[in-house]
């Protein structure tokens, strides 16, 4: 027991030190900070995968406190994001959860952490960094359009269209942030799981992308959304309109992924080279409306079995 306790303390101290170094590099050092950001959750995730939850949370808390002495208050929210992500990742691995569970739990953790920090920034410091970022982007666009008009005599977009664009961007912020967070989480998981495997942690695997099968309930959500837009037609700017717009973005992305997965399935079934899959994925992006339709048919009907039957004949 003493040996286990001392081992836990020694490993915890090493992981806290390594986590502090990575967070400091990610916060202060340009260029290298991108790499450090991707690997910042690794020490906490490794410790959490090896030891119990209470010890992991304690290590994560200390990992958030110690960077304060190097970077002050500003670095604590930064450290909190990666510490909480590391704990959830490691805990999921320790409990031998699936990779889908790992992705969902880690993504939701990041969303909650981001939301809490945003509320704290809004209430305590009266700083709305999202609104300020949008205003900064709007001003930058206006200046670039003014420069273009002074050089060419033409503007790419008039004032009304520009305001409409940014109003739409502001209304779709919830969906945009959610998609960005889950993409970042997927990137973190994809990079860190091979490292954790090398460190002796059993890690789960995703099924091949060609075998992606989203829940059929997504079709019902999409049908309900279409019905609301068709029969109720919420006015622009109303809460119902904002909710429908954000849900539409998320569902379009999911159905697009399902459609691309079906295309990969068909190409793989016919023995097509990998480069063709890459080209098909690139072409699918501008043709997302057609790909969404493919995704709907793939979820609603068993067309993969039809494709298999055709190939076997």
Residue 155 clears pLDDT 70, i.e. is over it: no
Confidence of residue 29 (pLDDT cuts 50, 70, 90): confident
CA atoms of 178 and 180, how far apart (whole Å): 5
- pLDDT for 72 equals 75
**225-247 pLDDT, tens digit each:** 888 888 888 888 788 888 888 99
Is residue 240 within 8 Å of residue 228, measured between CB atoms? yes
- pLDDT for 151 equals 73
> How many other CB atoms are found less than 10 A from the CB of residue 3?
7
CA atoms of 175 and 273, how far apart (whole Å): 35
Start-to-end C-alpha separation, the chain: 65
- Give the residue from 22, 32, 98 showing the smallest Cα distance to 63: 22
Overall fold of domain 2-126+175-198: Arp2/3 complex 21 kDa subunit ARPC3 (1.10.1760)
SS3 30: coil
Alpha helices (runs of H) in the chain, residue ranges in sequence order: 2-28, 32-39, 42-50, 53-65, 68-71, 75-94, 99-123, 129-152, 159-171, 173-198, 217-227, 239-269, 274-284, 288-300, 303-312
Residue 153 clears pLDDT 80, i.e. is over it: no
- pLDDT for 88 equals 94
What average pLDDT does this structure show over 126-145?
78
- Give the residue from 136, 162, 281 showing the smallest Cα distance to 210: 281
Is residue 69 within 8 Å of residue 37, measured between CB atoms? no
What average pLDDT does this structure show over 70-91?
87
* R_g over Cα of the chain: 24
CB contact set of 189 (below 8 Å; sequence gap of 6+): 89, 99, 102, 103, 106
- 8 vs 224, higher pLDDT: 224
CA atoms of 181 and 185, how far apart (whole Å): 6
- Give the residue from 276, 259, 256 showing the smallest Cα distance to 210: 259
CA atoms of 97 and 284, how far apart (whole Å): 32
Domain boundaries, the chain: 2-126+175-198, 209-312
CA atoms of 214 and 208, how far apart (whole Å): 13
Report CA dihedral (87, 89, 92, 98) to the nearest 10 degrees. 170
- Write phi, then psi, for 53 (nearest 5 degrees): -65, -40
**35-47 pLDDT, tens digit each:** 888 999 999 999 9
DSSP 8-state assignment for residue 237: T
User: pTM (2 decimals)?
Assistant: 0.84
- Give the residue from 83, 53, 38, 88 showing the smallest Cα distance to 65: 83
CB contact set of 172 (below 8 Å; sequence gap of 6+): 245, 246, 249
């Amino acid at each position: 027991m003493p040996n286990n306790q001392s081992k836990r303390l020694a490993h915890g101290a090493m992981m806290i030190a390594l986590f502090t170094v990575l967070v400091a590099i990610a916060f202060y050092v340009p260029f290298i900070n991108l790499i450090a950001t991707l690997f910042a959750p690794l020490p906490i995730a490794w410790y959490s995968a090896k030891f119990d939850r209470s010890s992991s949370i304690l290590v994560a808390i200390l990992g958030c406190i110690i960077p304060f002495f190097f970077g002050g208050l500003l670095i604590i929210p930064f450290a909190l994001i990666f510490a909480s992500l590391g704990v959830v990742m490691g805990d999921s691995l320790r409990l031998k959860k699936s990779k889908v569970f790992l992705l969902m739990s880690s993504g939701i953790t990041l969303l909650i952490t981001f939301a809490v920090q945003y509320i704290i920034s809004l209430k305590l410091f009266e700083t709305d960094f999202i609104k300020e970022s949008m205003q900064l982007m709007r001003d930058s666009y206006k200046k670039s359009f003014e420069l273009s008009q002074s050089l060419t005599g033409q503007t790419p977009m008039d004032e009304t269209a520009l305001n409409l664009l940014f109003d739409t961007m502001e209304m779709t912020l919830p969906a945009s942030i959610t998609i960005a967070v889950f993409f970042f989480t997927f990137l973190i998981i994809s990079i860190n799981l091979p490292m954790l495997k090398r460190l002796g942690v059993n890690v789960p695997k995703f099924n091949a992308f060609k075998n992606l099968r989203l829940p059929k309930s997504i079709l019902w959500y999409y049908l309900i959304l279409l019905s609301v837009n068709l029969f109720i037609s919420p006015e622009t700017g109303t809460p119902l309109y904002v909710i429908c717009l954000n849900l539409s973005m998320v569902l379009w992305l999911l159905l697009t992924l399902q459609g691309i997965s079906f295309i990969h399935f068909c190409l793989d079934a016919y023995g097509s080279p990998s480069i063709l899959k890459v080209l098909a994925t690139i072409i699918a992006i501008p043709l997302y409306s057609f790909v969404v339709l493919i995704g709907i048919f793939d979820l609603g009907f068993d067309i993969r079995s039809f494709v298999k039957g055709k190939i076997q004949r």
